[in-house]
Chain A
């Protein structure tokens, strides 16, 4: 077993270019489970933990740039939560404190589970991903990046470097249903983010489709059913709930049923909207 622990992005990109069979490990919170279960044979590892360019986050001219190596714990902190509360709330719902110390937002993206906890917020924000290889860099919208359940547009030799999202004015909420009160995989999750300057609401829906979905119909409803002078919902919330459900495409699996997921996503979206526009 060869394990590389590069200190710079250039070294990390060179390492994965030199060894096409290398497995990239960030926090390892998904990968190690697979390795330990014998489901993922690994011959060599490139660890991103010490790569300086992946660390930290910053704001600049209305944009928030989050290093792919930011841990969930970092996103939970008050300084980050003040800027992007929904992402802080979503980060808090991930696993245990130990898992949140290890797991990273870049890993959540690369794993691309429909149940990935930060993804509804990032999808709602139309996050742009900075992706680099040893020969090039590119930028891609999250909706193009998440191509299917656990499938992404990340190509051989590429790493996610950072995620850029707009900083919005307005309240935000993230809600997640699971069958345990903590440390549980999502059965349904929703992010509802007010964008007061654009007089709109952004909605991301988790675990109710093959990838994390945008609540487009429900968003359209909010444009005409919120009084943007008083910031109050004036329309019939039952309509909103129905549209959220029509934006969702849940399935039955061993964690829940299609019917319950559809039920729960509507209720959670309604509650989130009511909290955002009390």
Chain B
């Protein structure tokens, strides 16, 4: 093509456009946040509390300041602006000054000429703690002595739907538990702050929520928001773990204090301690049905352990509660949802955002109900599926595409995988060579889930894009954080499609353009995709009106349809849109040793429209990997408030030998009204019901109840004891 000077037509929407940053990332040439560098920069390092609960008697920074090469040691006393921050409630101190509420809470930061100097300086700070008994049991938090002036209840949300006193002919009850999962993104937290001449600061930061990072940081620095100029640095994954700020204020304080650029880069251990996790949850359910399987009532009590600070606990609980019944028509329900404060690590956003925990429980309940009814578990689900025009537990009537029946049917109708080949590596236990074929039992499990797209409960999480077209080249400027999800690819596809150009430059995502909101809630394709589309259409109109102009430029702000708060009964049109998904898992279990090999996960997903098939597959495979991880291995081990595995030696994530074959049975394309190009977000659904499906498959293989994930070998081997 190039020989004749001809250009290949670049991929438009619906085609598998390759990532513009794909090859550089594979070659190690892409600059991530931890590669940032500035001449004369200092290295920042955080002193963290080693205890989950303590009074701080004294902090002596003198020995650290005396070390040659140390430029600054800052504590709570140096915070010029607001002393606390938080996405929903500003309850989290920039530095703990009187009370330590979780292990790893920052006490001080150091800037020094070398990371090793900074490390020694941190070790030299003398802190005297008076240890106090940590509150670690979420069940005791609400009634317990408050460990924070705001109290121990982040939110108590009750959903009363229909007549919750209705009794079913068949009733099943169960209690379930979900452990604390971590996002475990590959690129640890990193940032570079460079002081500006005007008293402001320039911040390059690996983040998923740039403008709110900027706003929270500026408030704590005591600066006007425009004095903090933030740019998204190369971000190696996020999955919710970068929605809250972590080192943002610290690194800017150090830069402003020293007048020099300062870089901070978390170690893996600090990363585990420094960001929020998926909420551990305890879930009690009672399902009521008619003899024919029709659901008549669901009662549930949900206790989400939010850890020491609020983060997004309130919104996570709302999701958990609103979708607590699953994608079924449930005429009556009583959901008693609690998100509480403890001295455990703070929890917040993670892929699936509350819906994952309740899906594990409601799908276990559906299987239990099917068994009690003597009914096929898939048949029971099909009998109760939500359809367009039905109301969910909040009374909100579904107006968009609701292909629950379609995802279920596509998933169950896909062919089952063949029996294991017998190769040792392919058996449970893998490289450990433990499995003998005759102890291996196969199990098949099925689960369905759904959740909202975009922020809910009245939140106007708009996005902004600016598009300039000059000399046949479109430049798109949008603050959407690219965290690996592929927005940089999609931006180019949208601009090419709407403007009919081939060359599209994606400008750096920074705060010199309006907010794009968070890269979370499966919302950026819809929100920022819509903003880019809108700006491109305005440019097209300018071209029609004024064909000869030297350039065209437009800025478009894209808002989704407004939503309502939930009322005192948890009723209201709180959500913008929904996505539905089904998973069928096939597992082989060594029933003697309790070791699991997930063989295959088949899925069908409601996507509205596929804008990039390759990226859709990537999201589905990645989301299933995290769902499988939660099912069989991923857990932050927190004992008496102390994190025991803040490392990749003991926080296990799936390897290629743990990752099942992913069979995409169908992507259901029913264009969503109101969605740009009809496309729904696809990032979260793959994690929602994959965990539940794997758990169900393990139950099928072993007969063990599997009431807790991640399931551990001893839970399967000694299952009989757990039951009794």
A264 touches B713 (CB 8 A): yes
Interfacial chain A residues near B714, Cβ < 8 Å: 256-257, 259-260, 263
> Shortest CB–CB separation between residue B430 and chain A, in angstroms?
3
Is the CB–CB distance between B649 and A182 below 8 Å?
A: no
Contact B269 A268 (CB under 8 A): no
Cβ A267 vs Cβ B655 within 8 A = no
> Given A260-B717, A267-B593, A268-B434, are A180 and B269 also a contact pair (CB < 8 Å)?
no
Interface-centre pick from B428, B430, B434, B658 (highest chain A CB count, 10 A): B434
Q: Name the distance in Å between A277's Cβ and chain B's nearest Cβ.
A: 14
Chain B residues with CB under 8 A of A175: 429, 432-434
Does A163 belong to the interface (CB within 8 Å)? no
Contacts of B432 in A (CB 8 A): 93, 175-178, 181, 184, 189
Given contacts A182-B655, A264-B713, whether A254 and B637 have CB atoms under 8 Å apart is: yes
Of the four ranges (under 10, 10 to 19, 20 to 34, 35 or more), the interface on chain B belongs to 35 or more
Per the bound structure, the CA–CA distance linking A101 and B440 in Å amounts to 32
Q: Is B161 an interface residue (CB 8 A)?
A: no
Contact of A181 with B718 in the complex, beta carbons under 8 Å: no
- Alpha-carbon gap, A185 to B428, bound state (A): 16
Q: Which stretch, A33-41, A55-63, A144-152, A209-217, touches the partner chain B?
A: A33-41
A183 interface residue, CB < 8 Å from B?
A: yes
Residues B433 and A89 in contact, CB atoms below 8 Å apart = yes
A231 contacts the other chain (CB 8 A): no
Contacts of B592 in A (CB 8 A): 267
Q: Could you mark each residue 428-444 of chain B with 1 if its beta carbon is under 8 Å from any beta carbon of chain A, else 0?
A: 11111110100000000
**A255 within 8 Å of B (CB atoms):** yes
Looking at chain A's contact residues, the main secondary structure is mixed
B433 adjacent to A185 (CB under 8 Å): no
Does B712 interact with chain A (Cβ within 8 Å)?
Answer: yes
Q: Does A179 contact B (CB under 8 A)?
A: yes
Establish whether residues B712 and A176, one from each chain, have CB atoms under 8 Å apart when the complex forms: no
Q: Which of A176, A185, A254 contacts B434 (CB 8 A)?
A: A176
B434: chain A residues at CB < 8 Å are 175-177, 268, 271
A180–B429 alpha-carbon span in the complex (Å): 7
Taken together as a complex, chains A and B put the C-alpha atoms of A74 and B434 apart, in Å, by: 23
Chain B residues lying within 8 Å of A256, measured Cβ to Cβ, are 712-714
| Pair count A-B, CB < 8 A | 98
Check B430 against A185 for contact (C-beta < 8 Å).
no
* A177→B433 contact, CB < 8 A: no
Majority-rule SS of B interface residues: loop
Cross-interface CB contact of A179 among B267, B597, B639, B712, cutoff 8 Å = B712
B593 near A264 with CB under 8 A, answer: yes
Structural contact, A177 and B649, CB atoms closer than 8 A: no
Residues of B within 8 A of A257 (CB): 714
| B652 / chain A contacts, CB cutoff of 8 Å | 179-180, 184
The residue among A37, A174, A181 with the most chain B CB atoms within 10 A of its own CB is A181
Q: Do A254 and B650 touch across chains, with their CB atoms under 8 A apart?
A: yes
CB distance from A111 to the nearest CB of B (A): 13
Residues of chain B lying within 8 A (CB to CB) of residue A36: 267
Q: Least Cβ distance of B419 to chain A in Å?
A: 18
Contacts of B592-608 to chain A: CB distance below 8 A? 592-595, 597
Chain A residues lying within 8 Å of B542, measured Cβ to Cβ, are none
CA distance A254 to B712 in the complex (A): 12
Q: How far is the CB of B647 from chain A (nearest CB, A)?
A: 7
A260→B718 contact, CB < 8 A:
yes
State the CA gap A47–B411 with chains docked (Å): 55
Kindly state whether residue A92 has any CB partner on chain B within 8 Å: yes
Q: Roughly how many angstroms separate A275 CA and B436 CA in the complex, as a whole number?
A: 9
Nearest-Cβ distance from residue B392 to partner chain A, whole angstroms: 37
Q: Which of A176, A179, A267, A275 contacts B633 (CB 8 A)?
A: A179
Give B646's nearest chain A residue, CB to CB.
Answer: A37
* B593 and A177 within 8 A (CB): yes
Residues from chain B with a CB closer than 8 A to the CB of A33 are 647, 649
CA of A36 to CA of B655, assembled, Å: 23
Is residue B645 contacting chain A, with contact meaning CB distance below 8 A?
yes
With A and B bound together, what is the CA distance between A263 and B593 in angstroms? 8
Bound-complex Cα distance A93 to B650 (A): 16
- Residue B168 interfacial (CB < 8 Å): no
Report how far A69 CA is from B542 CA in the complex, Å.
71
Question: Do B595 and A263 have beta carbons less than 8 Å apart?
Answer: no
* Contact of B658 (CB < 8 Å), options: A182, A255, A259, A271: A182
B224 CB to nearest chain A CB (Å): 38
* Residues of chain A with a CB closer than 8 A to B597's CB: 181
Inter-chain CA distance A176–B650, complex, in Å, is 16
Interface string of A164-198 (1 = CB under 8 A from B): 00000000011111111111110101000000000
**Contact of A37 with B431 at beta-carbon distance under 8 Å, contacts A180-B654, A182-B655, A263-B717 already known:** no
In the complex, B290 has a CB within 8 A of chain A: no
Residues B430 and A182 in contact, CB atoms below 8 Å apart:
yes
* Distance in angstroms between the alpha carbons of A254 and B640 in the assembled complex: 13
Q: Residues of A contacting B595 with CB < 8 Å? A: 177, 181
User: Within the complex, what minimum Cβ distance (angstroms) separates A185 from chain B?
Assistant: 6
Contact B658 A254 (CB under 8 A): no
**Is B433 within 8 A of A174, CB to CB?**
yes
- With A33-B649, A38-B119 already in contact, the answer to whether A183 and B717 are too (CB < 8 A) is no
State the CA gap A268–B654 with chains docked (Å).
Answer: 23
| CA gap between A93 and B639 in the complex, in Å | 29
Please measure, in the bound complex, the distance between the C-alpha atom of A38 and the C-alpha atom of B119, giving whole angstroms: 8
Interface residue B25 (Cβ < 8 Å from any Cβ of A): no
Binding site for A on B (CB under 8 A): 119, 267, 269, 425, 428-434, 436, 592-595, 597, 633, 637, 639, 644-645, 647, 649-650, 652, 654-658, 712-714, 717-718
A-B CB contact pairs (8 Å), 23 listed: A33-B647, A37-B269, A92-B431, A173-B433, A176-B432, A177-B434, A179-B713, A180-B654, A180-B657, A181-B428, A181-B431, A181-B595, A181-B597, A182-B656, A184-B432, A185-B650, A187-B713, A254-B637, A254-B650, A256-B713, A259-B718, A267-B593, A271-B434
Top 8 closest pairs, chain A to chain B, by CB: A181-B430, A260-B714, A176-B432, A181-B657, A182-B431, A182-B657, A254-B644, A180-B652
Sample of 7 more A-B contacts, CB < 8 Å, known A182-B655, A267-B592: A173-B433, A175-B433, A176-B434, A177-B595, A179-B633, A256-B713, A271-B436
